[in-house]
Amino acid sequence: MTALTLSTAGAATLRADALVVGVAKSPKGGKGLVVAPGAEAVDQAFDGKLATVLETLGASGSEGEVTKVPSPSGLKAPVVVAVGLGAAPEKDEAYDAEALRRAAGVAARALNGVKKAAFALPVEAVEDAQAVAEGALLGAYAFTAYREKGKDAKGPLAEVALLGVKPRDKAYKAAAERALALAEEINRARDLINTPPNDLYPESFAAIATAAGKEHGIKVQVLDEKALVKGGYGGILGVGQGSENSPRLVRLAYTHPKAEKTLALVGKGITYDSGGISLKPAGHNETMKCDMSGAAAVFAAVVTAARLGLEVNVTGWLALAENMPSGSAVRPGDVLRMYSGKTVEVLNTDAEGRLVLADALTKASEENPDAIVDVATLTGAMVLALGNRTFGIMANDDAFRTSIHEIAEEVGEQSWPMPLPADLRKGMDSPTADIANMGERMGGGLVAGLFLKEFVGEGITWAHLDIAGPAYNEGGPFGYTPKGGTGSAVRTLVRLAERTAAGDLG
């Protein structure tokens, strides 16, 4: 993992292998490139012509743009890396935290193989420092566990030195510690999502969670197949019965002696989703190792809360199963008796995530938490509605849905509030069981949300995050987001826990 240090040294005097500065497009009405605050000493080393040099090389200040130039005499770092911040803010306004986060991520990824880079991006407040640190640490991520280690292999940037901060100031130290803990756990979630399903299956995921629990003082309980049968968890068992890798339900509990609120997080953990008997076609199953991204996000959020010592109780539920076709697999038309006692007619075995979540939601509700949030790569319909970078938010409480949307925007995760139209519920009526696992095709993401709502305890505030779009990036990397697993929703969940600890559950 990339190390993070805070430094009072100036940009010109710190010894590093590269020096990162920000450049931007001129504010409205202006022309040319603007050198962002933090790079004054660097510009001076270029005799005040850094912007001119960069423009000559084709730099425009656009977001995500990286330009490398050799350093002149007067700078200790041999290379200057200019990263675009987009449009410069108007007078008396600051750079947006997300713009700083993305710029830092782009620069860190461009410095793979480098030992130490100094970041002299605009830092006017503690929040800016935290954003730069988060972006750099997340952008430096690389999944190399299955790569042959050779002479030409480049690892991620080894150390980020953050300039323009006050290392002895408690607020800056706390911001750095938060950024490091958060980034390390998001990157752990990314590792889990990227791990091939022959190595990550319910039992091995549960073992990883158990080990993390011991390390961070989190109580972990694992229900194996025998315990699930004894407890009557028909949804999780039904999904997992076609695989040689038996399912698990994992409970992680972080508690704080001063906590006044309890937050329950539930994650879909389908470690591989073939679709079951309703088999996915070629072209749709190659990346289905990522169908446990919700469980990875919940796991990461609980561990982060523990590492930060938040004054809130956070319980995580990982509903883990592998959805495979076989002679023992659940069939379309089968009826499952869920943990809640309700019966579900399975019309499509590829609508399995809602089945494992339903059991976990019912179990989580028994503990009567102040709120429940479930996270899942649940529906392709949500991707069609919102695209690949935005997750949908549904809830049984409008104020809570709005609060989560605001939190997601605050931390830089794209999201959008979605409705739960009551008229779509009728489409899940079954002539055989209490409810079917499928309804109307149009509005499929909303139908899935309505299904889950049926299994939330009465009077409990609940929200559902469908992260099917942003959980796994099949395109090229951008900002601090890598190709592959992204760790979507972790930052939103952690911020929600922080707000809850502060008495603002929403």
* Catalytic residue positions, numbered: 280, 354
Positions of E strands within 398-460: 415-417, 435-436
Q: How far apart are CA 364 and CA 461, in angstroms?
A: 12
C-alpha pair distances (Å), 398 with each of 173, 308, 371, 409, 415: 36, 29, 13, 17, 15
First to last CA, the chain: 34
Angle formed at CA 8 by CA 7 and CA 11, multiple of 5 degrees: 85
Of 434, 443, 457, nearest to 362 by C-alpha is: 457
Q: What are the helix (H) ranges across 267-320?
A: 293-308
Alpha carbon distance 81, 315 (integer Å): 43
Phi-psi category of 434—alpha, beta or left, where left has phi over 0 and alpha has psi -120 to 50? alpha
Distance CA 241, CA 233 (A): 12
- How many CA atoms does the CB half-sphere of 350 hold within 13 Å? 13
In angstroms, rounded to a whole number, what is the distance separating the alpha carbons of residues 192 and 199?
10
β-bridge mates for residue 159, sequence order? 3, 116
Give me the phi and psi of 248, to 5 degrees please.
-145, 150
| Stretch (H or E) spanning 109 | helix 97-109
The residues near 162 (Cβ < 8 Å, ≥ 6 apart) are: 4, 5, 6, 7, 119, 123, 129, 132, 133, 136, 176
Burial class of residue 440, CB neighbours in 10 A (0-12, 13-18, 19+): middle
CA angle centred on 472, ends 471 and 475, rounded to 5°: 135
Tokens for 325, please give them: 């076709």
Q: What angle do CA 449, 364, 201 make, to 5 degrees?
A: 80
With beta carbons less than 8 A apart as the criterion, state whether 345 and 433 touch. Answer: yes
Neighbours of 47 (CB within 10 A): 11
Helix axes 398-411, 490-501, angle to 10 degrees: 120
